[in-house]
Amino acid sequence: MKKLMLGNEAVARGAYEAGVSVASSYPGTPSTEITEFIAKYDEIYSEWAPNEKVAVEVASGAAIAGGRALSAMKHVGVNVAADPLFTMSYIGVNGGLVLCVADDPGMHSSQNEQDSRNYAIAAKVPMLEPADSSECRDFVKKAYEISEEFDTPVLLRLTTRVAHSQSEVELYEREEHPAKEYKKDAAKHVMVPANARPKHVLVEQRMDALSKYNDTSDLNRVEMNDTKIGIITAGIAYQYAREAFPNASFLKLGMINPLPENLIRDFAAKVKTLYVIEELDPVLERQIKAMGITAHGKDLLPLIGEYSAALLREKILGEKPEAGFTVDETIPVRPPVMCPGCSHRGVFYVLNKLKLTVSGDIGCYSLGSAKPLDSIDSIICMGASISALHGMEKAQGREFAKKSVGVLGDSTFLHSGITGLIDMVYNKGTSTVIILDNSITGMTGHQENPATGFTIKGEPTRQVDLEKLCHAVGIDKVTIADPFCVEDFEKVLREHLEAEEPTVIIAQRPCALLKKAGYTGCCEITDACKNCKMCMKLGCPAISMTSSGPVIDETLCNGCGLCVNICKFGAIVKK
Amino acid sequence: MNIMIVGVGGQGTLLASRILGAAALRAGKQVKLSEVHGMSQRGGSVVTYVKYGDRVDSPVIEPGEADMIIAFEELEAYRSLPYLKKDGVLIVNTQKTNPMPVITGAMEYPENILDKLTAKGIRVVACDALRLAKEAGNIKAVNVALIGVMAKNSPLSKEIWDGALVDAVPAKFLEVNQKAFSLGYNHQ
């Protein structure tokens, strides 16, 4: 039976068919749906972990214990999980271990454009890269075979256009792989220097063996056609190149680390001009050139952003695309915005009003950096809001700390914000942190987390009490406040900023897209409006300015009532 | 056949693309869809590509390649214009949603977009899909009403579309969506 599937869904299907028994991940676009789809299979134990490092460690433990295990993450998630990854390369596996990594060329939903293929080289583990959904399914199954045959974790690299494209996938039955026997084996599993040294030797031998395996692996495909142009490529870049050069010869790589040297030499010898086509870093090109092979690559093609068939035709053949219709005026862009009813809006309204320095973090609330809320000063990575805030205080002093805050979501706080908070307490910081507790992991599309009280399967579980947790690490002043009671929230915030100690405000209100937010109806602006434009400072997409004053779009408004709370003239009412 | 669906995050463009995908599969074609998840879904411009044919490589549609564009919002229709083929069809939901630069007063929402499109000699099919969705009984069915309009202008048979609805729409919402589809299909 064939089914149209997202690349991510096909990865989940592959895991199911390969007999995977444990999956642990932290959500991150464009990888999230892999684990969401896995959670639909009752045969696989699945979970959301607090962060990628924990997730990969859970999967590692499962693999050491003999089960087939998987973890999925976005590219920056590998940075968090790099520690277990590099040592699992030495330890190897018992049951197969596959780590799925989704890169985001073009940064559709990411803070950087790093190329995770560099990790495969650095950690000395094999990496496979599918080019469509069908290959996603196939390559996951193959990855488990390689993992167990070569005693190694295997990385599966996706990019946004593979992860979030749908194409046909043939469905097969699940092959059961019950957990293998677990035996205590310190030389293999205990990575102290005496054991790790001989392991490193094995890792290097394994890479040589994998390179030879790759020379004849059916993961790669040679398509000989006109030999004037030969193209070595992999993943989504193959699709763009195939569309741009339908008559060229192709070496389409499926396993991109370690490279199949003999296969590449053989292909290169058969074509007149060789091109290496890959998005982002010249990972393949550098290695191919190091083999002494002449090829074009980044001399013609960009290091930045996504490719397309048109881009390849233009850069390689010099063919400009035919001019289509043009828009003859500058039209307004439509950047993403906080939703109507967003629980974060009240917080950022106050932060903007007080003109504080705001150390931001990763999540929907990064949208608080956009006009008119325009309040965030810096965003680095998951959890950095608190630690960077602490660093700011140490560089600028106490008076600066009185005018600055860190903001991060509940899920991000548990991911890696908590360690920053411990640092601040331990090292006598006095800054104020606001945890935006909207009861869900929002930006990635509503995943449960340890603070929501539910598992990935929606089962009730023990809930982390954020207030008690903050107390436990040494924060005495913790206040729970409703960000929509704007006046009270501002008062609480001023008190916290003045306190000569590290403090936390838990801004509690559910995400507007959750049923439990309970918003109904919509708001309306009455004749009492004095056109003071205060409501425009909220940056609510439902409120627009017209020549006769502000109006509320009833198709967008969900009746959250924040604007009712901030109107000084009582001119906005709930309908 | 290259079809683009453009709109504002949260308008239900993903279900629309799934129905298109299901229809192409029923027609026995190879099909690829490419969608955008994550940040831009939060009220930003969203684009979905649907390509089908005997062989489809890249899942992405490039400027000048779209046979049809289904625009859920007027400004997004205007923005998508460079993607339309010279003889392509542009289906426009006559709904306007102000983007943030318009809300903050930094820019103005372009006037008379439909007239400007028609003046360029483009085949524009305008439709008040919100009204059709309300008539069908659920304002969220705007997406399927637009698919109905699109289906009428497509080379695939009504039978294929009826089947695609059953394939792609959750059973609970099938009836209201069938009604919305039919109102869209019989529009004009």
Q: Which two tokens stand for residue A418?
A: 């908590």
Partner residue facing B38 (CB), from A109, A132, A335: A109
| CB of A352 closer than 8 Å to CB of A374 | yes
Secondary structure, 3-state, A278-306: CCCCCHHHHHHHHCCCCCECCCCCCCCCC
List the structure tokens of A457.
């399967």
Residue A303, token pair as written in the block: 């290091």
Q: Tens of pLDDT along A230-248?
A: 999 999 999 999 999 999 9
Among B100, B108, B109, B111, pick the best mutation site for testing chain A contact (most A Cβ within 10 A).
B100
DSSP bridge pairs for B6: B47, B71
E strand or H helix at A253, and its extent? strand A248-253
C-beta separation of A104 from A29 below 8 A: yes
CA distance A164 to A547: 42
Class of residue B125 by CB neighbours under 10 A (exposed 0-12, middle 13-18, buried 19+): middle
Domain ranges of chain B: 2-185
Chain B: give the shortest CA distance to residue A62, in Å.
30
Pairwise CA distance, residues A354 & A73, whole Å:
37
- By Cβ distance, the residue of B18, B30, B34 closest to A164 is B34
Residue of A nearest to B61 (CA): A308
- Rounded Cα distance between A82 and A153, Å, is 12
Contacts of A548 (CB under 8 A, 6+ apart): none
Cα–Cα distance, A458 to A465 (Å, whole number):
18
Contacts 24+ apart (CB under 8 A), A368-371: A368/A338, A368/A344, A368/A407, A370/A335, A370/A337, A370/A539, A370/B100, A371/A539, A371/B100, A371/B104, A371/B106
The fraction of chain A above a pLDDT of 90, given in percent, is 96
Q: Does A551 touch chain B (CB under 8 A)?
A: no
Rounded-to-integer distance, Cα B32 and Cα B41, Å: 20
What is the rounded CA–CA span in Å between residue B88 and residue B122? 7
pLDDT digits (tens, 9 = 90+) for A245-303: 999 999 999 999 999 999 999 999 999 999 999 999 999 999 999 999 999 999 999 99
Residue A34 contacts residue A162 (beta carbons within 8 Å): no
| Whole-number pLDDT of residue A65 | 98
Report the complex ipTM: 0.94
What does the block give as tokens for B102?
Answer: 């318009």
Nearest partner of A92 among A209, A219, A191, A217, judged by Cα: A191
Q: CA-CA distances (angstroms) from residue B16 to A214, B6, B71, B84?
A: 41, 10, 11, 19
SS (H, E, C) A33-44: HHHHHHCCCCCC
pLDDT tens-digit series, residues B75-103: 999 999 999 999 999 999 999 999 999 99
Task: Output the 3-class SS for A481-527.
Answer: ECCCCHHHHHHHHHHHHHCCCCEEEEEECCCCCCHHHCCCCCEEECC
Q: Check CB contact under 8 Å for A332 and B109.
A: yes
Give the per-residue pLDDT at B38: 65
What lies within 8 Å, CB to CB, of A63 at 6+ separation is: A69, A88, A93, A94, A95, A96, A97, A147, A153
> Using CA atoms, how far apart are residues A284 and A115, in angstroms rounded to an integer?
12
Whether the pLDDT of residue B105 is over 70: the answer is yes
CB A67 within 8 A of CB A21: yes
* Record: contact A336-B57, CB cut-off 8 A: no
Considering only CA atoms, which of B29, B59, B31, B58 is closest in space to residue B47? B59
Looking from the CA of A481 toward its CB, the CA atoms found within 13 Å total: 26
- ω before A510 within 30° of 0 (cis)? no
| Residue of chain A nearest B40, judged by CA positions | A336
Q: pLDDT tens for residues A451-492?
A: 999 999 999 999 999 999 999 999 999 999 999 999 999 999
Q: What is the rounded average pLDDT of the residues A361-368?
A: 95
b/e per residue A509-527 (b: at least 16 CB within 10 A) = bbbbbbeebebeebbbbee
Is B137 in CB contact (< 8 Å) with chain A? no
Contact B139, B177 (CB under 8 A): no
Report the C-alpha gap between A159 and A30 in whole angstroms: 8
Give the residue from A100, A96, A98, A99 showing the smallest Cα distance to A179: A96
Check if CATH label 3.40.920.10 holds for domain B2-185.
yes
Pairing of strands A165-170, A2-6: antiparallel
Which B residues in the span 39-68 are in contact with A, Cβ-Cβ below 8 Å? 39-45, 56-60, 62-64
Token code pair at residue B160:
């294929």
**Distant-in-sequence, close-in-space partners of A106: CB < 8 Å, separation ≥ 6:** A113, A160, A305, A306
Q: Which amino acid is at A318?
A: G
Distance CA A520, CA A559 (A): 6
Residue A360 in this model has a pLDDT that exceeds 90: yes
- For A45, residues 6+ apart whose C-beta sits below 8 A from its C-beta are A21, A22, A23
d(CA A456, CA A354): 39
Tens-digit pLDDT profile for residues A510-544: 999 999 999 999 999 999 999 999 999 999 999 99
On average, the pLDDT of chain A sits at 97
Nearest CA in chain B to A167: B32
CB contact under 8 A, B97 and A243: no
Interface of B with A in 152-171 (CB under 8 A): none
Tell whether B176 is within 8 A of chain A (Cβ): no
A312 touches chain B (CB under 8 A): no
Which residues of A fall within a CB distance of 8 Å from B45?
Answer: 333-334
Only one residue has tokens 């390509």, namely: B51
**Cα angle: A431, vertex A434, A438; to 5 degrees:** 165
Q: What is the CA radius of gyration of chain B?
A: 16
The answer, for A107 touching chain B at a CB cutoff of 8 Å, is no
| pLDDT tens figures, B26-67 | 999 999 999 877 666 678 899 999 999 999 999 999 999 999
- The model's pLDDT over B156-180, given as tens digits with 9 standing for 90+, comes to 999 999 999 999 999 999 999 999 9
- What is the three-state SS of A76-97? HHHHHHHHHHHHHHHHCCCCCE
Reduced to 3 states, what is the DSSP secondary structure of residue A408? strand
Q: What is the mean pLDDT of residues A47-51?
A: 98
The yes-or-no verdict on residue B188 having pLDDT over 80 is no
Cβ within 8 Å, pair A339-B42: yes
